[in-house]
Amino acid sequence: MTSGGPLPYARQDIDDADVAAVVEALRDPFITQGPRVASLERAVAERVGAKHCVAYSSGTAALHGAAFAAGVGPGDEVISSPITFAASTNVALYQGASPRFVDIDPATWNLDTAAAAAAVTERTRAIVPVSFTGLPVDLAPLDAVRDRVTVIEDAAHAIGAHRHGRPVGGPGGADITCFSLHPAKTITSAEGGLATTEDDELARLLRLFRTHGITKEGIHPSPDEGAWYYEMQELGFNYRITDVMCALGESQLRRLDDFVDRRNALAARYRELLAGEDRISLPPEPPADSRHGRHLFVIHVKGGGANRRSTFEGLQERGVGCQVHYVPVYRLPYYRDRLGVPQDACPNAEDYYWGAISLPLFPLMTDDDVLRVVADLKDSLPA
């Protein structure tokens, strides 16, 4: 039933107001390290109810800053999910620490946080639960270890989501929550990332890390030094975001609810049309008092293996963009061969991986696009 041209699995939605905001920023005296960075941070903090928001050049940079702020270093370990983008655990390696994988909960495809809490040792410095696909991860089981570890939520998929009535990234959530503003995500700044926290000291460290560890705040120059004086207090990175990117990000933020609502409406239509399809399983849903961020709509092909591959290739042949999110991180050659990460510790992640396909999901999709994807999916599934 292929109709029209190729349909991507994701696409940003840029309108005239976004373009105007970027043009205005380009005409300002400061196109980086100017006032628009703080403006975006204030807008996001207000949107999620957080005390602090720190903007970074990418979601990975925000996660790296969070690992630094948590004090992750050599000899430490960081627990996370194997079903995530590699950045979630690469940040542990950047800090000289060791990643440790705990299996996913098959009912949610998120990290099994009860198992993660039970896996904490004296070496564990942080836990990075992932709100995979935009489904808010259950943080409650981690309360038992909050006095021993820092909880860093990788909410790259979950901006605009709610957990039990509260926005992800605000009070009552993780110690630090990290969002991505990549073009495939719900809102974009072309690239970019955000870290929110209620903790003043964590916020100070997050800001320090993105600017080489250099600051002018709270320093005491000698009598012979003046306003030019600065100190490098930590080994940080250049993870600054530009004012041009922030202008786009803040403009996009005004449509966040519309984007999330449209994504949820498209997902509901998928579920309606696929409800009787017994060759697949549909993705998990959040509790009634929570809101899904709907970054991805992942189906699970029953039988996995060759069934998944033939379905994936059939969709691609019909011009339907699809992906697999994700190859379990421990399977990646760097983790498997160079780090020697065990390959048999996460059976639920393996079961998930061998059947997963992400279908197209983005606000610019039409209802007819959904009909097309469903028809092409049914034609691609093995009989």
Distance of alpha carbon 98 from alpha carbon 146, whole angstroms: 20
> Taking Cα atoms as reference points, which of 214, 209, 208 lies closest to residue 232?
214
Type of residue at 134 = G
Residue labelled with tokens 């630094």: 68
Q: Are 104 and 81 in contact (CB under 8 A)?
A: yes
Catalytic residue among 51, 185, 302, 378: 185
Beta bridge partners of 301: 280
Q: How many angstroms from the chain centroid is the CA of residue 256?
A: 15
**Is 185 part of the annotated catalytic residue set?**
yes
Sign of the dihedral defined by the CA atoms of residues 18, 20, 21, 22, in that order? positive
Cα dihedral value 49, 208, 28, 51, nearest 10: 10
> Taking Cα atoms as reference points, which of 93, 126, 89, 91 lies closest to residue 202?
126
Structure tokens at 149: 């570890």
Largest CA distance in the chain: 81
Catalytic center residues: 185
